[in-house]
A and B are shown apart, each in its own frame.
Chain A
Amino acid sequence: MFGINESFVNTYGNAVGNFRWNHLFSDKLFSNLSLIYSDYYYGLKLDFVGFNWNSGIRNFNVKYDLKHYVNDKLQVNYGLNNIYYQFNPGKIEPSNENSGIIEEQLIQKYANEFAAYLDFEHRLTEKLSLGYGLRFSYFNRLGQDELNVYANNNPVNFNPLLYIYQEAEPISIATSGRNESLAKFTNWEPRLSLSYTLTDDSSIKSSYTRLAQYLHLLSNTSSPTPLDVRTPSDAFVKPQLLDQYALGYFKSFNNDDYSLETEVFYKDVQNRIDYIDGANLIANNSIEQVILNGEARAYGLELLFRKNEGKFQGWLSYTLSKSEQRTPGRFINGTNTLETGINNGNWYNTPYDKTHDISLFASYDLNEKWSFNTNFVYQTGQPTNYPIGQFEFQGLAVPYYGLRNEQRLPAYNRLDISASLTPRKNKNRKIKGEWVFSIYNVYNKRNAASINFRRNDDTGANEAVRTSIFGIVPAVTYNFKL
């Protein structure tokens, strides 16, 4: 719980109940049955406004997993899984009599996901190992109290005069019972992986996976906020389908003193949604009115080089990647003209695109007492949107924006160092302790968590304001074990 006197109180937590039954059918077949109940709760109380806000997700999960060691070359895993979800996107109620708030419950949502899988881990030869499997998933979006019905099943309209997308007015509201189905999805999710030993100290791996993702996180801010909600798939927000391909090479040098891992990957995502300009997601019962459908893809190269032996050890990792999406417009009714979509239907950065990601870690063991380590991180800045101009309206300077995710925050970089002291007397003590002296962010880089634009109250001029969270943080830690 987190609060500022009694006027603002934030409560969140998770209650979990878990029942597990393990059973050995034989020394080769092992099973596990789990019944899990989880209740994630998020609450906010703002007394001066006079309301309490609750939201949360509950789920009931039954899983039955079996592991079968057929022989020393083949292991088979199979099982069933069923989850029933109940989403409470939010309920607001007045906290006192004078409050101007009316009680409102955002429409609760229900869904059920059933899955069955069969998976093989097969060592074909000395050099070649295969993993292959298939998962079947069935997602059922269940009925709820109210659901909007739209003309032509179209919840978002494009206004060709103003060139913007607008929410469509529903033509009626449908009520359905908890046992009725609003949408059903079935997906087969195969996976295949291969690992081949080339020589004594090198090997290659490759894999293919398909995944179906039925729950969506709705958030149109760059950082997570407490009001982000998860929503289950429906007729308008289809499940995301991912195909991922990866190919990797591993080599160790000098008897594993050094090792090198590299991997390239490519991902294809269908049914990726993005928001129309000006979408308001907070307390929105009908998300379908503010989203458009599209696709996404990501690809990249990862390198990891390690030194595993000696007083001086460490690793260096580098990832070069691109993550982009495309949200094309639909055809305007009865014409051959396309709507604008987002960024005119071209590929644009997702909010998570990170071109370069470098991470270096080094440690040095001086002697029994002292060891030192250091950590350096460099990442390309997150995509963001800067205003491309301003206009004046009613005495206010109003910024306006251009294409989505075109600009970037400044690159993130940071250096940390630390020294550990293990007193010699430790060997004879019952409680072994160690001191760690560290400095986080040694050169005090103010990495931008976000950049906002505003008018300065004193000078009246426009300015860009960077919000950064940690500067230099020295710390002393004492660790002990009994």
Chain B
Amino acid sequence: MKNLLYCLLIILLASSCEDVIEVDLPTESPRLSVDAVIRMDTSLAMTTAGIKLNLTSSFFDNNNSLSDADVVIRNLDFVSDNPSESDEITFEEVSPGMYEAIGSTSFFTTGQLALFINFNGEQYYAKTRFVPTSPIETLEQGEQTLFTGEETEVILSFTDNGGRNDFYIFDFGFNEFHGYRGRILSRAAF
């Protein structure tokens, strides 16, 4: 609801005049930025995880990538019978800024994961846990439109887990994201 209210305010503003202008922006020295969103397909036994490291740049310049970082993920609650299996996975740089590693899916989905990065003499640390989602149950194209008549309606349904407070984001590709916050036990359809 809140997102739509924001969209509406933007639509109202867009009806006045907009033009692109030159602006002098302040700058600061680059910082490390880590994109460690790992998408899991729980039906596969092994997962290739990718982590992107970048340096920040000023708003109008292009992003700088970097090299020579050490990236490791450790599973803090790791339990295994096999002594050759480690509680740590080290990531290898496959291209500038892009680090990959292969691990078993259960390594990533069970227990707490800690990410350690060593770059430029500084150490970085983060902690997280796997968050499962609900599968999409039905998906079909609808016939309604919104304002201009050229919009496409997509009707999908899934069951929200009423016991948890979940937030959903719908990735339709092409960088089109829409959010929905699940708070009810019954199904909801857009």
Beta-carbon contact of A282 and B2 below 8 Å: yes
Q: Among residues 25 to 58 in chain B, which have CB atoms less than 8 Å away from a CB atom of chain A?
A: 25-28, 30-31, 33, 35, 37, 52, 54, 56-58
> Closest approach, in angstroms, between the C-beta of A463 and any C-beta of chain B?
5
Q: How far is the CA of A400 from the CA of B58 in the complex (A)?
A: 10
Find chain B residues with CB under 8 A from A450 CB: 13
Cβ of A156 within 8 Å of any chain B Cβ, yes or no, is no
Beta-carbon contact of A463 and B20 below 8 Å: yes
B3-11, B70-78, B79-87, B107-115 - interface stretch: B3-11
> Closest approach, in angstroms, between the C-beta of A130 and any C-beta of chain B?
50
Cβ of A389 within 8 Å of any chain B Cβ, yes or no, is yes
Cβ of A473 within 8 Å of any chain B Cβ, yes or no, is no
Q: Among residues 285 to 322 in chain A, which have CB atoms less than 8 Å away from a CB atom of chain B?
A: none
Cβ of A177 within 8 Å of any chain B Cβ, yes or no, is no
Beta-carbon contact of B28 and A462 below 8 Å: no
B88-96, B130-138, B182-190 - interface stretch: B182-190
Beta-carbon contact of B54 and A402 below 8 Å: no
Task: Please pick, from A390, A400, A446, A448, the residue contacting B63 in the complex, using a CB distance under 8 A.
Answer: A390
Known contacts A386-B25, A402-B26, A453-B59; A393/B35 CB under 8 A: yes
Known contacts A102-B183, A102-B184, A389-B27; A462/B63 CB under 8 A: no
**CB-based nearest A residue for B146:** A48
Cβ of B60 within 8 Å of any chain A Cβ, yes or no, is yes
Known contacts A48-B146, A92-B1, A464-B23; A389/B57 CB under 8 A: yes
Task: Please pick, from B19, B26, B63, the residue contacting A386 in the complex, using a CB distance under 8 A.
Answer: B26
Q: How far is the CA of A476 from the CA of B144 in the complex (A)?
A: 44
> Closest approach, in angstroms, between the C-beta of A407 and any C-beta of chain B?
7
Known contacts A392-B35, A469-B16; A462/B1 CB under 8 A: no
> Closest approach, in angstroms, between the C-beta of A264 and any C-beta of chain B?
33
Cβ of B122 within 8 Å of any chain A Cβ, yes or no, is no
Beta-carbon contact of A392 and B33 below 8 Å: yes
Find chain B residues with CB under 8 A from A388 CB: 25-28, 58-59
> Closest approach, in angstroms, between the C-beta of A250 and any C-beta of chain B?
41
Task: Please pick, from A7, A387, A469, the residue contacting B25 in the complex, using a CB distance under 8 A.
Answer: A387
Beta-carbon contact of B20 and A465 below 8 Å: yes
Q: How far is the CA of A397 from the CA of B58 in the complex (A)?
A: 11
Interface string of A443-479 (1 = CB under 8 A from B): 0001011110100100001111111110100000000
Q: Among residues 371 to 417 in chain A, which have CB atoms less than 8 Å away from a CB atom of chain B?
A: 386-397, 399-400, 402, 406-407
> Closest approach, in angstroms, between the C-beta of B121 and any C-beta of chain A?
20
Beta-carbon contact of A283 and B37 below 8 Å: no
Cβ of A199 within 8 Å of any chain B Cβ, yes or no, is no
Known contacts A46-B8, A227-B5; A468/B17 CB under 8 A: yes
Cβ of B22 within 8 Å of any chain A Cβ, yes or no, is yes
Count contacts between A and B, CB distance < 8 Å: 111
**Interface SS of chain A:** strand
Find chain B residues with CB under 8 A from A407 CB: 26
Known contacts A391-B63, A462-B60, A467-B16; A49/B21 CB under 8 A: no
Cβ of A13 within 8 Å of any chain B Cβ, yes or no, is no
Beta-carbon contact of A386 and B23 below 8 Å: yes
Q: Among residues 151 to 167 in chain B, which have CB atoms less than 8 Å away from a CB atom of chain A?
A: none
Find chain B residues with CB under 8 A from A225 CB: 9
Cβ of B143 within 8 Å of any chain A Cβ, yes or no, is no
Cβ of A101 within 8 Å of any chain B Cβ, yes or no, is yes
Known contacts A51-B1, A451-B23, A471-B17; A387/B59 CB under 8 A: yes
Find chain A residues with CB under 8 A from B68 CB: none
Known contacts A49-B4, A407-B26; A467/B13 CB under 8 A: yes
Interface string of A69-102 (1 = CB under 8 A from B): 0000000000000000000000010000000111
Beta-carbon contact of B63 and A396 below 8 Å: no
Cβ of A8 within 8 Å of any chain B Cβ, yes or no, is yes
Q: How far is the CA of A456 from the CA of B37 in the complex (A)?
A: 25
> Closest approach, in angstroms, between the C-beta of B25 and any C-beta of chain A?
5
Find chain B residues with CB under 8 A from A176 CB: none
Beyond A227-B5, A391-B54, 20 extra complex contacts between A and B, CB < 8 Å: A4-B147, A46-B8, A92-B1, A388-B58, A389-B31, A390-B58, A390-B63, A392-B35, A392-B63, A393-B33, A395-B175, A397-B63, A400-B56, A407-B26, A449-B16, A462-B59, A467-B17, A467-B18, A468-B18, A469-B16
Binding site for B on A (CB under 8 A): 4, 7-8, 46, 48-49, 51, 92, 100-102, 225-227, 280, 282-283, 386-397, 399-400, 402, 406-407, 446, 448-451, 453, 456, 461-469, 471
22 A-B residue pairs with CB within 8 Å: A7-B147, A49-B1, A92-B1, A100-B188, A102-B183, A225-B9, A386-B23, A388-B26, A389-B30, A389-B59, A390-B59, A391-B31, A391-B63, A396-B175, A402-B28, A450-B13, A463-B60, A464-B21, A464-B23, A465-B20, A467-B16, A468-B17
